[in-house]
Amino acid sequence: MRVLVVGSGGREHALAWKIAQSPRVDRVLAAPGSDGMGAVADCRPGVKAGDLEGICELAASEAVDLVVIGPEDPLAAGLADRLREAGVAAFGPSAAAAQLESSKAFAKAFMQRHGIPSADHVVVDDLDRALAHVRARGGPCVVKADGLAAGKGVFMCATTEEAEAALREIMETRRFGEAGARVVIEEWLQGEEASYHAITDGTNVATLASAQDYKRIFEGDQGENTGGMGAYSPAPVIDAAVEARILERIVGPAVEGMRAEGTPYTGVLYVGLIVDAEGNPSVIEFNARFGDPETQPLLVRMDGDLVPLLEGAARGALDPRAMPSFADAAVCVVLASEGYPRGYQVGRPIEGLADVESMPGVEVFHAGTRRTAAGGHETAGGRVLGVTARGSTVRDARDRAYAAASKIHFEGVTCRRDIAARAIDR
């Protein structure tokens, strides 16, 4: 079969890499793809992820059997709907179902309707009222742009002054454009963060492994949120008892609730979680697609074929028994450009990639690179590379990932040095 992966980042590189290993797949295409993905996919740089018409035309002209949609923006724009209308199997939720990610206010109201545990909150669309609310409540809170902001629209505010600054950046200066026309202000839940992925066809559910990502730019979870500076899997905080609660209290009610409301959810449901000291999970966020960078360690430690799950969900015939197994552990360390997640320069030569290719158990996924005229690579984004390693334990995988990362250099390279430390130090 032929599979088209939509997107160009590290997550999409990892998906194309895993899909290409399937004995059922004889060709992988990527739109637009990237220079770094060329070894595993036939990339079409002229067809951007947001070009819904172009992707539908590409799927038809190449007789694509399955389209796997990576990023959130085309899902929110209705790409999965357009493909299904054209008779093409699409892995990803409809625009209506993708509101679980594209509108935090929608997600919060949905969780309230279906008794899914989450933080107390208010939704505000006026800056003055938002400022008055954080001043009246005092203390720490979480301020979120309502719409899509590439993972950067969440501000963990320890003080009222920080909350006010976040609100002005979101609603007044409009750092995130119309995504900041409305905000969600939440209580700051106490506990340990983790994430969980489940694949569903709207009725049946197949569970994937747990993971933990690192959103803040600096070690010790300091600084502002990014799209993700690294991740590892499995996350020890999600033991068997916690996983059972996630499925019973969150994943099951979410899938059933979406179906009951006439917007059945198909694709992968990403649940961002806080797990408190008693092992009770609460939802921080839903995402309508695979996490980035969690996908990288998840797929590196996955044994077996991912494609039957993707196709089964897309065609409404998911067989949970097709669930692949997860062995060992994996860690992804993101190498980012200096200045990320705000301003940064591109075009800086990358050295050392060839030195890493021969390292056992290591995969490097390209998130923001491009080919140079001399045949090498240079930086082309904020998050540049996801250096991912598999090992018998989290510590082993972490040591391999950092050993590989140390061989790669470009001017201003930035990475966190504490990825997976929570698992090792507990």
Tell me, yes or no, whether 104 lies in a domain.
no
Q: Which of 326, 350, 366 is the last residue of a domain?
A: 326
**Looking at residues 9-26, what average pLDDT do you find?**
98
One domain for residues 51 and 63: yes
Asked if the bond preceding 32 is cis, omega within 30° of 0, the reply is: yes
Query: Average model confidence (pLDDT) for the chain?
Result: 95
- Residue 174 is predicted with a pLDDT of 93
343 lies in some domain: yes
108 part of a folded domain: no
Residue 114 confidence (pLDDT) = 97
Domain count, the chain: 4
Q: pLDDT band at residue 69, thresholds of 50, 70 and 90? A: very high
CA 179 to chain CA centroid, nearest Å: 18
User: Per residue in 128-148, pLDDT tens?
Assistant: 999 999 999 888 999 999 988
| Cα 74 from Cα 95, distance rounded (Å) | 9
Over range 216-220, report the average pLDDT: 94
Tell me the CATH number at 143. 3.30.1490.20
Instruction: Please report which residue ranges of 315-393 form alpha helices under DSSP H.
Output: 353-357
Give the domain extent around 348: 329-425
Q: Is residue 388 over pLDDT 80?
A: yes
For residues 287 and 216, give the distance between their C-alpha atoms in angstroms, rounded to a whole number: 18
Residue 199 lies in a domain: yes
**Is the pTM here over 0.85, yes or no?**
yes
**Residue 242 shares a structural domain with residue 274:** yes
Domain stops at, among 141, 161, 186: 186
Q: Is residue 416 in some structural domain? A: yes
CATH assignment at residue 215: 3.30.470.20
Q: Are residues 156 and 173 in the same domain?
A: yes
CATH number at residue 65: 3.40.50.20
* Contact in structure between 358 and 333 (CB atoms under 8 Å): no
pLDDT in tens, 321-338: 777 889 899 999 999 999
